[in-house]
Each structure stands twice: as C-alpha cells, then as structure tokens.
C-alpha cells in the first residue's frame, strides 16, 4: 500500500470532445472525464470561487462524470478543503477525489440538462482577525529592549519534519531506533484500523499494536492520521469511519495530550463524499499540509535533493517537509540513504528545528495568533502582555520570545518573571551580532516582566 506520488501532469486544456473552455474561469479547468460522445459541459465563473457548470447531454443517455481542476497556487488558488458541489435545489452532490489531490474533483451526474455549482464554502464561525507581524514586536525606549516572537522555536532559522507513511514494520525496527540515535523526532502516519472482512491482509498496526503503544507512551515521536485502512472511502459515513476512526485510535494512545494531529489520506486512494474536507478536519481536530519531498530511492539522488531543499528552506525561513515509506535494504529507502539524509539534517541542526508535524503546525498557528503589548516600563523593569488567540485545548506548543538588548545593557543581568513572580528560564544568545535573550512561554494570555538585577 505504498503511496507513490503520481507523475505530475502538466495542466494544459486542449479543446477536445466534451470540453468547453469558458472565457475566464479563474484558472479552473472543466471537462467531461474520459468521454468522447456528443454531450458537453460548459462553465462560468459566477463569483470569485464559485463556478456554475451546465450539462447538455445532446442525446447521451449514460451517466457522465465532470472533471473540475482547481488552481492550487497563485493569487487565484482555491482553498480545496472548503470546496463542495451543489445542484440547483441546493443539494450537496457526491464528489470523488484522490487522497492527495483534493483540488481535482470528479462529479458523477446523470445525462440530463442540469446546472451545478462548485464553490468554496466560508468555514463556519467567525474568524478572529489575526494580529499583524508588527504587533509581534515591541520596542521599548526606557529599557532599551526589543522583544519579538521568534519565527521558529528557540530562534531556529527553519523547521524540518520527517514523516513516515503506512505504519510499516520497518518504522519500528529501523526508523525509530535510528531517529533515536540522532535524537530527532519523526511523525508516523499510521493506518490503525482493525482488519476488515474481505481484506486479506491483517493490518501491520494491529499486529504490532503493543510496539506502537510503547512509542506513543514514550512520546518522543508523533503519531498522525493516514486513515484507518488506507483504502479510501465511499460515502460520508465511510469517510467518518476512516478519518474519525483512525483519529480515535490515536487519541486513545495519547490520552491527556492535545487531540490535534496531521492528516494525510494516502496516495492511490479515492474518497467520495458530499462534504468538504474542512468538515472532517474540524470535527476531528486534524490539519492537512500539502507539499512534501518524497524520499523513496526510486526518485533518484534523494540525499542531494534533500540537501538542496533544506538549504532553500533555511534561506527563506520556512518549514521543510519530507516523507519516507519503508526503510531498509531493498525497500523504498535503503538504510544508508536514510542515514545520509539524517546526517545532512544533523549538519544544519543548530539552525534547524527538527520536530513533529503537529508541533510545527501548532507553533506556526499560535505565532500567527499572538501579539505583544507593553504594560509598563522604567529604567530597571519592563512588563509586557502576551496575547494568544489560539484554542488552548489544542495548541500547547511553547512560543519563544526573543529579547534584543542594547549595547549599554548587560544581558546577563536580565531576569524574566511570570505574573506570579516565578523566574522563567532564559538563555543568552546572539542575533545578527546583537546580544539577546531567549525564553519559552505557554501560548496563553499572560503578563511577564523583564528585570535588570543589580
Ligand atoms: Zn500511504
């Protein structure tokens, strides 16, 4: 059940049977799928992120399938997770998608003249407006201190997540022991569903449940959702069972911890639902991140490709994501190549935050939802308020506050205290040659003070 990336197809729409290209669909491609008969589909952008489809069967009697491809990047990109399709009676239509290509829709329709609307739904609930980047910086003249929320934990330049798919036995025998040698945290996308009648194979996770439980207990690696059985889903109930069922098994193994986890539906799978992906993400506290460098040896020169990707992400201060399947000689990644890539990460370790996907997603989300405000300041003491709008039940990754110190100030004499007067551990650092101080705080609304000790 290895999920290989499909060959990336270049999206060029040629006028062909069943295809009608309207004036400007904002980059959306619409055509009849796998069809060479007389029927046609036309499309019209009726408002931003809402396309009307009109089927004209022209004598066709067999059911048709409309293929809709939404742009994934650029200013006209659609939020694919928020997209659904409705008919003119406002009934949600069943839509089929591939697990890792949610922006490509296949809509089965009868061969009758009819209209349908493909549109991005505004997620429910009022979105709080997030603080600006400027509000995460605080400059105080009285103390000569400049505070900011570090882009990444501990002031690292970029983040790296190392993902493993399919709960393969070599994750327990190879990947985890080797990661532990390096002291790196991995994210393990598991398929924890129980064996089902009609499926010959017993799930690897079920066979090695005790070992996976031990990994979860130890907590040095992250478990994430790769769906219950890696077989896709047919219908809304099956979607719930595959996404929600897997989430529930993982929650049970990580009782008392945040329920937030990464979701990847797996390559080679198909999913049919009338609902948006957002519905399932929100209901089960999942998040989805696309874009990851596949590290299977079959792609060739993986270590060099990883080095290049990592250096680019370091330069731009971004989150670098890579993923593996099976580790071992003769398997998707040889042990030697796996170790060589980890050696590259190790080389850059001082500038890199190597963490689980949920850790990184949490930090990013919390930081975007946070701001700093000056409460009080004098020559010897500064008090500031941290405000964080992220949901405290899910978001628990500490944030790093960075304090740049003017040359006239002796950084070693600064002490950070919480509102109860308790000292917050801090570490001296240098940021672009300027002396600095870093400390971690919970992503919660709170007051802190920085004092100059005699
Ligand atoms: Zn997979």
Residue boundaries of the structural domains of the chain: 29-120, 133-153+367-452, 156-355
Q: How far is the CA of 237 from the centre of ligand 1 (A)?
A: 21
| pLDDT at 5 (0 to 100) | 42
Tokens 């406002």 belong to residue: 90
Q: How far is the CA of 78 from the centre of ligand 1 (A)?
A: 25
Same fold for the pair 29-120 and 133-153+367-452: yes
Tokens 């197809």 belong to residue: 9
Q: How far is the CA of 164 from the centre of ligand 1 (A)?
A: 9
| pLDDT at 121 (0 to 100) | 93
Q: How far is the CA of 279 from the centre of ligand 1 (A)?
A: 22
Q: How far is the CA of 189 from the centre of ligand 1 (A)?
A: 8
Q: How far is the CA of 280 from the centre of ligand 1 (A)?
A: 19
Looking at domain 133-153+367-452, does it have CATH number 1.20.1250.20? Answer: no
Q: Which fold would CATH assign to domain 156-355?
A: TIM Barrel (3.20.20)
Q: What contacts 24+ positions apart, CB below 8 Å, involve 363-369?
A: 363/152, 363/153, 363/159, 363/397, 363/399, 364/319, 365/390, 365/395, 366/390, 366/395, 366/397, 366/399, 366/443, 367/136, 367/149, 367/151, 367/399, 368/130, 368/131, 369/128, 369/130, 369/131, 369/443
Q: How far is the CA of 152 from the centre of ligand 1 (A)?
A: 29
Whether residue 220 contacts residue 185, with contact meaning beta carbons closer than 8 Å, is answered with yes
Whether residue 117 contacts residue 105, with contact meaning beta carbons closer than 8 Å, is answered with no
Q: How far is the CA of 443 from the centre of ligand 1 (A)?
A: 33
Q: Which fold would CATH assign to domain 29-120?
A: Immunoglobulin-like (2.60.40)
Whether residue 266 contacts residue 6, with contact meaning beta carbons closer than 8 Å, is answered with no
Pairing label, strands 158-165, 186-190: parallel
Q: How far is the CA of 135 from the centre of ligand 1 (A)?
A: 41
Q: How far is the CA of 222 from the centre of ligand 1 (A)?
A: 16
Q: Is the pTM of this model over 0.85?
A: yes
Spans in the chain with pLDDT lower than 70: 1-23, 124-126, 197-202
Q: Which residues contact 202 (CB under 8 A, 6 or more apart)?
A: 195
CA distance 183 to 187: 13
Q: How far is the CA of 266 from the centre of ligand 1 (A)?
A: 4
Any idea how long the chain is? 454
Q: How far is the CA of 414 from the centre of ligand 1 (A)?
A: 50
Angle (nearest 5°) at CA 87 between 82 and 92: 45
Q: How far is the CA of 294 from the centre of ligand 1 (A)?
A: 12
Residue 65 DSSP SS3: strand
Q: How far is the CA of 121 from the centre of ligand 1 (A)?
A: 28
């Amino acid at each position: 059940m290895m999920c290989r990336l499909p060959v990336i197809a270049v999206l060029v729409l040629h006028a062909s049977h069943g295809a009608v290209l309207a004036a400007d669909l904002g980059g959306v491609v619409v055509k009849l799928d796998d069809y060479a008969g007389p029927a046609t589909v036309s499309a019209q952008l009726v408002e931003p992120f809402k396309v009307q489809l009109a089927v004209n069967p022209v004598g066709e009697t067999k059911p048709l399938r409309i293929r809709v491809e939404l742009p994934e990047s650029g200013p006209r990109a659609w939020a694919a997770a928020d997209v659904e399709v409705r008919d003119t009676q406002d009934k949600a239509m069943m839509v089929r998608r591939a697990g890792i290509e949610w922006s490509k829709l296949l809509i089965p329709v009868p061969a009758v003249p009819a209209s349908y609307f493909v549109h991005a739904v505004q997620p429910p609930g009022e979105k709080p407006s997030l603080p600006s980047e400027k509000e995460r910086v605080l400059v105080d003249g009285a103390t000569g201190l400049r505070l900011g929320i570090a882009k990444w934990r501990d002031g690292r330049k970029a983040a790296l997540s190392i993902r493993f798919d399919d709960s393969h036995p070599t994750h327990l025998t190879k990947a985890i022991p080797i990661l532990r040698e390096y002291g790196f945290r991995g994210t393990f996308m598991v398929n924890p569903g129980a064996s089902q009648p009609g499926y010959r194979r017993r799930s690897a996770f079920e066979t090695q449940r005790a070992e996976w439980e031990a990994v979860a207990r130890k907590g040095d690696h992250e478990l994430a959702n790769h769906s219950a059985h890696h077989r896709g889903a047919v219908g809304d109930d099956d979607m719930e069972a595959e996404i929600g069922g897997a989430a529930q098994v993982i929650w049970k193994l990580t009782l008392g911890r945040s329920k937030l986890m990464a979701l990847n539906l797996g390559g080679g799978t198909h999913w049919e639902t009338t609902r948006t992906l957002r519905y399932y993400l929100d209901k089960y506290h999942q998040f989805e991140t696309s874009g990851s460098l596949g590290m299977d040896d079959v792609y060739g020169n993986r270590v060099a490709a990883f080095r290049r990707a990592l250096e680019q992400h370091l330069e731009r201060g971004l989150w670098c994501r890579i993923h593996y399947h099976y580790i071992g000689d003769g398997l998707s990644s040889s042990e030697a190549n796996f170790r060589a890539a980890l050696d590259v990460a190790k080389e850059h370790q001082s500038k890199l935050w190597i963490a689980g996907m949920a850790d990184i997603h949490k930090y990013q989300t919390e930081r975007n939802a946070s701001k700093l405000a000056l409460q009080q300041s004098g020559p010897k003491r500064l008090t500031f308020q941290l405000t964080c709008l992220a949901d405290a039940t899910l978001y628990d990754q500490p944030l790093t506050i960075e304090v740049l110190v003017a040359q006239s100030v002796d950084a070693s004499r600064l002490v950070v205290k919480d509102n109860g007067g308790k000292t917050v551990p801090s570490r001296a650092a240098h940021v672009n040659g300027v002396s600095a101080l870093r400390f971690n705080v919970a992503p919660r609304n709170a007051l802190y003070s920085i004092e100059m000790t005699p």
